[in-house]
Structure 1
């Protein structure tokens, strides 16, 4: 994700004012909250307590592993109503007497597990607790079908504005945001730890069209309605799932290696944004030279006409705000490696996504001729006395602080790391990292161990100063290698 610059400043204003970032909290009485915040695997299975992320303890469920979300939705832009059936194929990782899915606001009219009706109840802010007619045994595959509908909600976040399901200024709608967005339009195991394949069949009135993740499928028409189909077989985290409905102008092409590209432009955006998006093959070629082969089966873009507070790396096809530029395209496509293919394990690991994607913006500037060492030294002199710049931690920064520092201090930290270990270590380490963890999850401490092993250096002090501590690092870490003149 790349935040609009003025909203990065807004985060600081919000924090200084002592406001809390909006996040999910368990509902119910104190005893119930205490029970639900127990993040042990057994508690997650029995009480829907979550998947184990300490920042969002009520998110997800550790009792099963989703393999496929098969979503059939109907959306009417006129009434802004969405109706859907989510068919979810999963494998039980424990014996399940009951389990939960996350769903924001929408009404559920029926649930089946294994083709048989199941009991269900809503708990807290976002949990759909399901009790199948018979327990599911550990290791067993089971299929859950949830029928639901209503007017989707939007999540209002104090740091990045509106996310989740959003009605667009052009009359359509789109879903985007992190750490939460998917559950505003379908029930999900809403944790990055549970990545799954995706199928979407989205039915809209004729004249509207739908774009989602992955490969484009057949479009069918019936009775004044059109159904658009998309499929992403590469596992993806729920916050990287999107659906976007508008009167799109669609441009189809291919990358030099044959990877299909689908670009979607909302009304009024194509004249300005097509020249930017046309540089995607050049952008991906540079990123491949640094990070390894492009890890996705498709590529492209979704350009909305709205001044939302961020652009987002929705897998294979990023969503771009109206303000997005070429630097944003570089950032969101770097996420196809860092965040989408290799997904963080916990939100404390967000630097794995944002620091690396933000540094790709500097790599693009270097590609276009800029001397990054000169830039680093010049900007360092400007920022030496800035408490605001140096105070955020880049790892385990605390819930609500995930997006402080990673877009600016994170760039400096990675350039310093590059100079500490040298290019002959830094870039091969990035390529081996993306290869080893492709389509999986990883943590920031694992990344530190990976780079240290690749370099043969003792880097504990460096990582502590730059990523674990608050404040400006000492000069030995601030100006390593050729940065010290």
Structure 2
């Protein structure tokens, strides 16, 4: 994610002609609806799945008791009436003997639920819990499908510090859904936690004078009775907040990377003028692949909105961009395809794994394309903020709920550059490439990253990591300006 507003770090580096973004989204707290008492699972005794996935920052997000393997979301949407008719099938594998389980869904009228082809009981609880009780209890290890039919007018997006997250209307009369951490549940029933990545397919039916964009590979479908269906298939695991759908009268350009990976850029009405500045996806991916390793996604491109929202988002393979997005935003969101999308956080406390590394990619791009001396840039920033206690106060790891993004876009960039100086070029390159490759398609935590880096460094880096990533004051000089590696 990258915000419209520049950070305090951007203020100083703008003096040397480069903009660094700083965004501080607030992840809204869930309603104070107490969790239902759920007994600890006992082998052979079916019990309800937990009403949350276990992230201590947002305990109501996601659900327990199963692993979502894939989503097939089919819907019809009429921009004129704003009516949405959804039919979603979730393939899940039980991780315990289940008497019931939850899905997350915001709004809509649920018409029916089937589990393993049989009608299931269902109820709505709290703000977004869809509680499903199957006709037959599910045995641990069993794989079943849960089909939910629902309809209505989608809920308006929920407010956040960077702008609304969820379902939104476009200026042209279309719609899009976007946000972090909550967006998927605004349009399909989902286990809404990055801990449970799954494959994703969407079959979108809209009036024929509109187009639909999403993530994954495109499969054009039929047109009948004035409606067109388009299918998008993402066969790599994806965290739910990295899915999206956008409906507009797009101008669409298609191409391919050198390895044949399809590139699709879609420009909403009014956004076509940005094609020269942001339509450089193959060039950016080639550059980043040289630093991070092979491109880890099966599709590429961008969805370019003509919407003055507060952020752009790294929706998987095909980021979604606000109208203010520039080339550095493209670099940032594409860097997330390695750090954040392929390697996803285990918990929101680990968000520096996404944002600190993707933000530093902007510096790498400047270094690689303009020859900028990043040591000079770093020293200028440190000198500018040396006495600014507020700049150093945010923690970069385990910062607390609602504070996840406070420092990752400015202090986080400096921390990664200091790590580069601590490790030296060769070992730093091994970290960038090795971390993405070692965790390809999975989840990881910040403590795991520290262990990984320490093994490559061959030395104890606890002092460095504590000073930069857990500290709330300016690091000591030995960590601000590490000695050259031995």
Instruction: Judge same fold: TM > 0.5, yes or no.
Output: yes
- Secondary structure at the aligned position of 1:65 is classed as strand
Once the two structures are superposed, residues 230-255 of structure 1 have per-residue CA deviations (whole angstroms, 9 ceiling, x without a partner) of 00000100000001100011100011
TM-score by length of 1: 0.93
Match of 2:124 in 1: 122
Any stretches of 5+ residues in structure 1 without a counterpart?
10-19, 28-32
Per the TM alignment, residue 24 of structure 1 is displaced from its structure 2 partner at its CA by 1.4
- Tell me if the contact between 1:351 and 1:410 (Cα under 8 Å) persists in the aligned partners: yes
Q: Is the 8 A contact 2:255 2:264 kept in 1?
A: yes
SS in 2 for 1:97: strand
Which residue in 1 is equivalent to 2:240? 238
1:260 corresponds to: 262
Aligned counterpart in structure 1 of residue 59 of structure 2, from 34, 57, 60: 57
- Residue 422 of structure 1: CA displacement? 0.6
Match of 2:469 in 1: 467
- RMSD over equivalenced CA pairs, Å: 2.0
> Following TM superposition, by how much is the alpha carbon of 1:8 offset from its aligned partner in structure 2, in angstroms?
8.9
CA distance in 1, matches of 2:46, 2:461: 37
Matches within 5 A, 1:93-172: 93-172=95-174
Equivalent residue, structure 1, for 2:331? 330
> Which is further off, 282-291 or 336-345?
282-291
Q: 2:408 aligns with which of 406, 409, 413?
A: 406
Shift in Å at residue 470 of structure 1? 1.2
Alignment match, 2:458: 456
Counterpart in 2 of 1:22?
Answer: 28
CA contact (8 A) 2:49 2:98 kept: no
| Partner of residue 219, structure 2 | 217
Q: Displacement of 1:218 after TM fit?
A: 2.3
Per chain length, whose mean CA-contact separation is higher, i.e. which structure has more relative contact order (CA < 8 Å, sep 6+)?
A: 2
> What runs of 5+ residues in structure 2 fail to find an aligned partner?
10-25
1: CA distance between counterparts of 2:114 and 2:8? Answer: 44
Secondary structure of the corresponding residue to residue 158 of structure 2: strand
Q: Distance in 2 between matches of 1:41 and 1:302?
A: 43
- The Cα offsets for residues 250-280 of structure 1, whole Å up to 9 and x where unpaired, read as 1000111211100000001112x21123322
Aligned mates of 1:253, 1:47 — CA distance in 2: 44
Cα distance change, pair 109–280 in 1 and its aligned pair in 2 (3 A): same
Out of 217, 227, 231, the position equivalent to 1:229 is 231
Measured in 2, the distance between the counterparts of 1:8 and 1:107 equals: 45
Over residues 186-241 of structure 1, what are the superposed CA-to-partner deviations in whole Å (9 max), with x where a residue is unaligned? Answer: 00000101111111100001100101111000221111111111000001000000
Q: Distance in 1 between matches of 2:359 and 2:6?
A: 16
- Displacement of 1:482 in angstroms is 5.8
Tell me if the contact between 1:391 and 1:470 (Cα under 8 Å) persists in the aligned partners: yes
| Residue 281 (structure 1) shift | 1.6
Q: Is the 8 Å Cα contact of residues 220 and 230 (structure 2) preserved in structure 1?
A: yes
